[in-house]
Amino acid sequence: MSRSKHFDAIVIGSGPGGEGAAMGLTKAGLNVAIIEKESSVGGGCTHWGTIPSKALRHAVSRIIEFNSNPLFCCNNTSLHSTFSNILGHAKTVIDKQTRLRQGFYDRNECTLLFGTARFVDANTLEVTKTDGTVDSYTADKFVIATGSRPYRPDDVDFSHPRIYDSDSILSLEHDPRHIIIYGAGVIGCEYASIFRGLDVKTDLINTRERLLAFLDNEMSDSLSYHFWNSGMMIRNDETYAKIEGTEDGVIIHLNSGKKMRADCLLYANGRTGNTDALNLPAVGLSADSRGQLKVDSNYQTEVDHVYAVGDVIGYPSLASAAYDQGRFVAQAITRGEADGKLIEDIPTGIYTIPEISSVGKTEQELTEAKVPYEVGRSSFKHLARAQIAGKDVGSLKILFHRETKEILGIHCFGERAAEIIHIGQAIMEQKGEANTIEYFVNTTFNYPTMAEAYRVAALNGLNRLF
């Protein structure tokens, strides 16, 4: 039986973008429903992306830390684990996150509807539940926050038991001795770190000239070096001609004529917006070839009463940014305009082993723009805290203007890089004279800490000025 209920606003998708929007709207006093097609809230971020991959990475990096610590490894004791074993750790984290997020909706009296949403007309949605029953709901405003999924080209057989994407890899049950990862973007590099850290022979196929080309060249080179040093094979500038699933593995045929074989393959090359099931034409919208929607500065689509946030609108496709976009869309709906907007310099955190994080401009960008910059560097191997922790791989680099001493970019490689970056980001976000490299010389840091890297790098950079 179909029943109809009216809401002030309906949010489709309960990932970070949907959650930010729903919380903002309910706190403003609107009657809000949020629709989730999976059996629990949190979206791709909680269930297949950010949370599980970082939980896996954490477990693997602790195993590496144990095995490289002279206190433990001298007794011929070494820790070994398999991908399927450490997945259990990721699942406990996912459960905690899901319970936490479910509580937000309950506390704020936001109606939670489970099922797949589909537009019927400009103000009506049908929600199909797992048992096949269909309910219809109407609303004045809609927020599309349906996220993205791994891109699956038609000529790759993802039903084969040895061919995975970054979602299905989380159901990997056999323990491969050798894996090919196709696509060396952020996801491909993070999984390459995880598998290599578990002592799985790893071949990484990069469709571009260098790893993570959007990074500062020095950071990209550092990652390549550490990957090679760990025994990983990287093939740059390669694309596949054919991916062939065999009885006990996979053979990939490259356009360059090379062939490679492994126990399994992870295809991690691109993502697509989840808009195909929404029946967008019914509301007067259409998505582009990547399933994404165009929005204005208020996150409003071409149809006035429909908004969109998160991966479904493309760049920057980060959980942190999506949550902020959700908050801004709630402002736009309740006040007519979004008060806030995303900061200009959004930090990137890449959870490889070791981690990479950066904010602001790269050396290449500054050179091209003919900005007279100088570089301040500190190497982790010289920091007492890093020596104590046995985490001496890595460095911090500050780029600053020669004349004004304004901080232009910060790039960090090594353990805890994604945390360390925020200290510099906080100073960079200050306006005028408050944003200069002098801050790091004139302040007193706790000792020993990783934050001290800023003082060392600042002194190093200022010593280069003449």
Annotated binding-site members for NAD(+): 183-190, 270
Q: Which residue has the tokens 């919380």?
A: 23
Task: List binding-site positions.
Answer: 36-45, 54, 146-148, 183-190, 270, 311
> How many angstroms separate the Cα of 358 from the Cα of each of 430, 441, 446?
17, 21, 23
Q: Measured between alpha carbons, how far is 338 from 313 in angstroms, rounded to an integer? A: 17
Q: Which residues contact 276 (CB under 8 A, 6 or more apart)?
A: 287, 291
Sort residue 229 into left (φ over 0), alpha (ψ -120 to 50) or beta: alpha
State which amino acid sits at residue 325: Q
- Beta-carbon contacts of 1 under 8 Å, excluding residues fewer than 6 positions away, are 133
List beta partners, residue 304: none
Q: How far apart are CA 164 and CA 84, in angstroms?
A: 14
- Would you give the distance in Å from CA 77 to the centre of its chain? 35
Cα dist from 325 to 22, 343, 350, whole Å? 11, 11, 21
Question: How far apart are the C-alpha atoms of 362 and 358, rounded to whole Å?
Answer: 9
Name the nearest CA neighbour of 83 among 355, 266, 281. Answer: 266
- Binding-site annotation: residue ranges for FAD: 36-45, 54, 146-148, 311
Q: Are 450 and 456 in contact (CB under 8 A)?
A: no
Residue of 384, 415, 448, 349 lying closest to 62 (CA atoms):
415
Sign for the pseudo-dihedral over CA of 25, 28, 30, 31: positive
